[in-house]
Amino acid sequence: MAHAHSHDHSHGHDDGHVVPEATFLKILIALLVLTVITVLAAKVDMGKWNIVGAMVIASIKASLVILVFMHGKYENRILWTYILIPFILLAILIGGVFTDDPFRSHPKPVEVQKLKAT
Amino acid sequence: MSAHATTAHNEELNYLNWKTGIWSWLSSTDHKRICFLYLFTILIFFFVGGIAALLMRLELATTGPTIPSVVTSPHIYNVLFTLHGVFMIFLFVVPGIPATLGNFLIPLMIGAKDVAFPRLNLFSYYLYVIGALIGALSLWNPFSGLTAVDTGWTFYAPYSTTTGSSVSLMVFAAFVLGFSSILTGLNFIVTIHQLRAPGMTWMRLPVFIWASYATAIIQTVATPVVGMTLLLIIAERVFGAGIFDPTKGGDPVLMEHLFWFYSHPVVYIMVLPAFGVVGEIIPVFSRKPLFGYKMVVLSSMAIAAVGFVVWAHHMFVSGISDFSAIFFSLVTFLVAIPTAIKVFNWVSTMYKGSISFTTPMLYAMAFVFLFMIAGTTGIYLAMLGVDVYYHDTYFVVAHFHYTIQGGAVIGLIAALHYWFPKMSGKMYNETLSKIAFALVFIGFNLTFIPQFILGMDGMPRRYYNYPPEYQNMHTLSTIGAFMNGVGYTFALVNLLMTALFGKVKAPRNPYNSVGLEWQTASPPIHENFPETPVVDKDPYHYGTPAHV
Amino acid sequence: MSSHAAAAHEVAPGDPPHIHHMDSATAYGAAKLGMWLFLATEILLFAVMFCSFAIMRYYHLDAFHKASHNLNLYAGAFNTAVLLFSSYTAAVAVTKAQRGDNRGVVVNFGISILCGFIFLLVKGYEYSEKAHHGMFPFVWNESFGDYKNFLGIYYCMTGLHALHVIIGMVVMYIYGVRPALKNRYSGRYYTPVELSALYWHLVDLIWIYLFPLLYLVG
């Protein structure tokens, strides 16, 4: 009765991929190593490149999580579009805000203090 | 299956009568019934927001206090325009076409039995109701010490983060409403991807589906941004985080960036479905295929995409850098192009067609005309020098009412008329609906053309009073507003009365339209189709041999 | 056609549930797309905080450096490792479910949930340390004025993240552990396990960016 519906073996297997536990373990080790690297790299001061380096390493870690842990490697174009959209929008948001603030002509801080004193 | 099953009154079974009782409606996961749940609720808020507007227009009808017994102080006027904006935008137009017609039509048009996640659909509705109740609560200030919100629907910092009214409650309501919107959008995206009938390829989809798809994407990805921004306003008020407070090193303009990042795309949420509606109606009543189907599809997606990079055109005079202003002005001009393409497509569809001036067609044609005015006045506002003058004047008010009301609301009314036979199984009286249309159209233009003139003369928006020189235009505008209100009331009451008491039964396909929703009964059975349809034709084959 | 409705309530362990308007393969695809879309909305929620962080840091670089050094780097790094490990066990849980190993699902999701608890405990410790020094909302010591901007964002971001950790733990329990205890999953049906794991991975993903920004770069 409950088995009356079809024996469609594609049930639940869009990608049909079962990723072995060993693969996940290798990725975990890579992630931990990258974490150590990013902590050590933070001890070296590279000025404004600090944040770039940290973000690059973080993005490598994120890519590993998305591609392997989250089965991203096996997903189709539609899904990938929706994975990428939030990152693109984040870039647009930060990019847009940064066309504004750094290019404003602000009164210099010392002038603000002068105003306060009067 | 249900061809010979009937109700107790010997009517054919359909989604309206197969289960009765109020609980069967309130707990229904049927997308068609959820459409009606939304429809009744959003129309209530339409009327409440409309009354707020009429009170404002009454007060503005003459210089000096006009209705001092109601608008007892400038503060009350500010509460009224806040109420009007919040209710109309968040409780009426944003759910608007998607939550009603979108819910009803999307599964039907793609040949599916329901949306992808029917229970999530019902949950979205109740989230909306909860958000609406919280919003209403924030107006009737039962908590001592809290007054009704008067910040305007834009909740700008630092006023919203420091003022002592129930702002936190109202922005939390907006957050909940946003969640409802996100889940609806998510549901529709998955539905359109996964549940199309065999043969219903992407390029055979009706443009209403493409429009709803583009809208759903915007709903899903833009709304979280404003949701978080509203939570940050609450954090500022409660914890004093200082992100938007200049005395603590914050930037109030940052709040505007974050707010408008959603609130510009939201206008496309509001109007894109109306584009889809118009794209369905015009071919039917021109007996011609839609001109340039591919371009209409591409332009819908383009509007959604480009709409994400223009937000700071709301902030030209807020103190953003010149570089930023120039960039956003340029991109704003670009977003006009896909819309203009659509206008060409609609007009070209009508060219050499056989036009029937039915009520939906009248509304659709009105839409094209009104949206043209909206779009061109938008171009003026995109020009930096011009905007410095027009910003925060009645010119802007008139512009956005042409887009939202002349666009989205007219689109909703058009859709309600066009699909009324399908949804209710009855035919409404064309004479009455045309009279209502005339009142709406004349009233609307009488309301807002004077407002363009007022704006050009420098009348600021959100002001409760003005010098005598501006009175004539204001008085005209108020007369128009009441005519407009009467027109909408007449149109909707006509439909309601027909739905409840109408006697003329609708045939399956009263206008001989193409499209899967017209191949099933009026009203449809609960499962939509007796058998899953198979599609093998292009979507707009009017007047071609394939069209029976 | 509708006679399935009565039979639908009896679903054998390992079989997909009967959904009246979709077949199982479509339902699986729909569920996965739906969850990824939801994850996209979560990323966009945090995007606002990342943007605020970027701008506030642009204006107050020195204060941010100073305040960041004040955070407990070892707690942050330890928490990073804990979350990465919990992400690993969540991924393994999906493989176990695909193999029909329900016990494996319980064990692995159980470890992930435990890691969540540890994460929250460490976070709670960090917060209480800050409160002790008067660097916490409602007990704020004004002499730390410089730190306020950074800490405002820090509490918003880590607080919101912690909320998602809790949600993730609850989801893994309700949709992973509990059904697996009744042998619900198999190679034919493991959708809730996959979806719960996806959500948990998102929680990990966000922390992957939060940790360097707040603790390392400042």
Residues A28 and A64 in one domain: yes
A34 & A66 share domain: yes
Best CA proximity match to B153, nearest among B95, B92, B80: B80
pLDDT of residue B85: 95
**In which element (H, E) is residue B189 found?**
helix B167-194
User: How much is the average pLDDT of B108-112?
Assistant: 94
**Which of A90, A100, A106 is best to mutate for the B interface (most B CBs within 10 A)?**
A100
Calculate mean pLDDT across residues B519-530.
Answer: 90
What residue numbers bound the domain in which A51 lies? 19-74
Higher pLDDT, C150 or B223: B223
User: Are A46 and A87 members of one domain?
Assistant: no
C-alpha C83/C-alpha A61 separation (Å) is 13
Mean pLDDT for B214-218 is 97
B137-141, B460-464, C73-77: least confident range: B137-141
The gap from C-alpha B437 to its chain's centroid, in whole angstroms, comes to 18
- Residues in chain B, how many? 548
Within this chain, do residues A67 and A81 fall inside the same structural domain, yes or no? Answer: no
Give the pLDDT band of residue C11 (cuts 50, 70, 90).
Answer: confident
Q: Are residues A95 and A57 in the same domain?
A: no
Assigned domain for A12 exists? no
Q: Are C102 and C16 contacting, i.e. CB atoms less than 8 angstroms apart?
A: no
- Residue C2's pLDDT is 43
Entry pTM? 0.93
Which residues does chain B have within 8 Å of residue C153's beta carbon, measured at their own beta carbons?
241, 243
Mean pLDDT across chain C, nearest whole number? Answer: 91
Residue among B182, B222, B241 minimizing CB distance to C156: B241
Using the Cβ of A3 and the Cβ atoms of chain C, whether some distance falls under 8 Å is answered with yes
CB contacts < 8 A, A to B, total: 48
Residue B443 near residue B491 (C-beta atoms within 8 A): no
Q: Which of A27, A51, A102 sits opposite C217 (nearest CB)?
A: A51
CB contact under 8 A, A89 and C84: no
Residue B547 pLDDT class (50, 70, 90 cuts): low
Interchain pair A96, B319: CB under 8 A? no
Q: Considering only alpha carbons, which residue of chain B is nearest residue C61?
A: B249
Q: Which residues of A touch C44 (CB under 8 A)?
A: 86, 89-90
pLDDT score recorded for residue A117: 52
A-interface mutation test, from C55, C85, C94, C217, most A Cβ less than 10 A away: C217
Nearest to B58 by CA among B87, B90, B93, B84: B84
Burial class (CB in 10 A: 0-12, 13-18, 19+), B318: middle
Interface test with A, best of B251, B310, B320 (most A CBs within 10 A): B320
Is A65 within 8 Å of C201 when comparing Cβ atoms?
Answer: yes
Cβ of A94: how many Cβ atoms within 10 Å?
A: 17
Instruction: Tell me which residue in B193, B221, B320 faces A86 most closely, judged by beta carbons.
Output: B221
CB contact under 8 A, C10 and A1: yes
Q: What pLDDT was estimated at residue B47?
A: 96
Does A80 reach chain C within 8 Å, measured CB to CB? no
The conformation of residue B516, written as its DSSP 8-state character, comes to: G
Q: What ipTM, to 2 d.p.?
A: 0.93
**How many H helices and E strands in chain A?**
4, 0
Separation between Cα atoms, residue B444 and residue A91, nearest integer Å: 40
- pLDDT (mean) for C45-68: 93
Q: Six-digit token pair at C20?
A: 């009246």
With CA atoms as reference, report the closest residue to C100 among C186, C194, C190.
C186
CA B468, B474, B479 angle in degrees (round to 5)? 135
Question: Tell me, what's the pLDDT at B141?
Answer: 61
Instruction: Specify whether A70 is located in the same domain as A81.
Output: no
pLDDT exceeds cutoff 60 at C6: no
Largest CA distance in chain B: 74
What average pLDDT does the segment B509-537 reach? 89
The residue of chain C with its CA nearest to that of B249 is: C149
pLDDT at res. B246: 85
Average pLDDT over residues B437-453: 98
Residue ranges of chain A whose CB lies within 8 Å of a chain B CB: 78, 85-86, 89, 92-93, 96-97, 99-105
pLDDT at B69: 85
Report angle CA B383, B253, B456 to the nearest 5 degrees. 35
Neighbour subunits, C (≥3 Cβ pairs < 8 A)? A, B
Rounded Cα distance between C52 and C64, Å, is 13
Token pair listed for B329: 């002005």
Residues A93 and A111 in one domain: yes
Look at A42 and C217 and tell me if their CB atoms are within 8 Å: yes
Q: What are phi and psi of C74, to 5 degrees?
A: -70, -35
CB contact under 8 A, A24 and C95: yes
For tokens 């007047």, what's the residue? Answer: B543
Residue of C nearest to B219 (CA): C41
Domain-by-domain residue ranges, chain C? 23-215
Q: Which residues does C189 contact at the CB level (< 8 Å), separation at least 6?
A: A11, A12, C14, C15, C16, C17, C24
pLDDT at residue B179 in the model: 96
CA distances from B75 to B66, B79, B394, B461 (A): 15, 6, 20, 15
Instruction: Identify whether residues A97 and A50 lie together within a single domain.
Output: no
pLDDT at B416 over 50: yes
**B152: nearest Cα among B82, B89, B229:** B82
Is C48 within 8 Å of B249 when comparing Cβ atoms? Answer: no
Burial of A37-70, coded b for 16+ CB within 10 Å and e otherwise, reads ebbebbeeeeeeebbebbbebbebbbebbbebbb
- More confident call, B63 vs B538: B63
Identify the weakest region by mean pLDDT among A86-90, B507-511, C138-142.
Answer: C138-142
Structure tokens at B96: 């608007």
pLDDT of A2 over the 60 cut:
no
**Window B:109-168, CB contacts with C under 8 Å:** 112-114, 116-118
Kindly state whether residues A60 and A97 are assigned to the same domain: no
Q: Which chains touch A (3 or more CB pairs under 8 A)?
A: B, C
Decide if C51 touches B, using CB distance below 8 A. yes
> How confident is the model over B11-45, as pLDDT tens digits?
778 888 888 889 999 999 999 999 999 999 999 99
| Residue A96, both tokens | 């847009």
Of C2, C56, C148, the CB nearest to B1: C2
Contact B195 C22 (CB under 8 A): yes
Residue of B nearest to A104 (CA): B321
Whether pLDDT at B2 is above 50 = no
Q: In the prediction, which pLDDT does A10 show?
A: 38
Residue C218's pLDDT band (cuts 50, 70, 90): confident
Residue C21: which pLDDT band, with cuts at 50, 70 and 90?
A: confident
Q: Three-state SS for C154?
A: helix
Distances (CA, A) of C9 to B321, C20, C45, C176: 62, 12, 38, 20
Task: With respect to residue A100, please indicate whether it lies within any of the assigned structural domains.
Answer: yes
Radius of gyration of chain C measured on its C-alpha atoms: 21
Distances (CA, A) of B33 to B503, B508, C207: 22, 19, 42
A contacts of C43 (beta carbons < 8 Å): 86-87, 90
CA distance B69 to B207: 49
Please give the share of chain C, as a percent, with pLDDT higher than 70: 95
DSSP conformation class of B407: I
Distance CA B11, CA B17 (A): 9
Q: Which comes out higher in pLDDT, residue B210 or C63?
A: B210
What are the backbone dihedrals phi and psi of residue B61, each rounded to the nearest 5 degrees, phi first? Answer: -60, -35
| pLDDT (tens digit per residue) in B182-205 | 999 999 999 999 999 999 999 999
Average pLDDT over every residue of B400-421? 97
Query: How does residue B4 score in pLDDT terms, banded at 50, 70 and 90?
Result: low
Beta carbons of B321 and A100 less than 8 Å apart: yes
Kindly provide the residue ranges of all beta strands, DSSP E only, lying in B42-168, ordered along the sequence: none
Indicate whether A37 and A55 sit together in one domain.
Answer: yes
One domain, residues A82 and A39:
no
CB of A11 less than 8 A from some CB of C: yes
A25 and A58 belong to one structural domain: yes
Length of chain C in residues, anyone? 218
Pick C146 or A61 by higher pLDDT.
A61
Q: Could you report the per-residue pLDDT of B282-313, keeping only the tens digit for each?
A: 999 999 999 999 999 999 999 999 999 999 99
Count structural domains, chain A: 2
The answer to whether B487 and B443 have CB atoms below 8 angstroms apart is yes
* B1/B113 Cα distance (integer angstroms): 15
How wide is the angle at C-alpha B338 spanned by C-alphas B387 and C39, nearest 5°?
Answer: 95
Q: Do B225 and A93 touch (CB under 8 A)?
A: yes
Residue C5 at interface with chain B, using a CB cutoff of 8 Å: no
Mean pLDDT, chain B, whole residue set: 92
Q: Which residues of B108-144 are buried (b: 16+ CB within 10 A; e: fewer)?
A: bbbbbbbbbbbebbbbbbebbbebbebbbebbebeee
Contacts of C60 (CB under 8 A, 6+ apart): B249, C149, C150
Q: Report chain A's C-alpha Rg in angstroms.
A: 24
* Omega prior to B158 cis, within 30 of 0: yes
pLDDT of residue C1: 41
Residue B145 has pLDDT above 60, yes or no: no
Is the peptide bond preceding residue A86 cis, with omega within 30 degrees of 0? no
Q: Regarding the domain delimited by C23-215, which CATH topology (the fold level of the hierarchy) does it fall under? A: Four Helix Bundle (Hemerythrin (Met), subunit A) (1.20.120)
**For residues B454-461, average pLDDT:** 96
φ, ψ of residue B460 in degrees (nearest 5): -75, 155
| Of B136 and B113, more confident | B113
Instruction: Assess contact for B483 and B62: CB atoms under 8 A.
Output: no
Is the predicted pLDDT of residue B431 greater than 60, yes or no? yes
Mean pLDDT of the B317-342 span? 94
Residue C146: its pLDDT value, please?
76
- pLDDT for residue A115: 53
Q: What is the pLDDT of residues B367-395, one digit of tens each?
A: 999 999 999 999 999 999 999 999 999 99
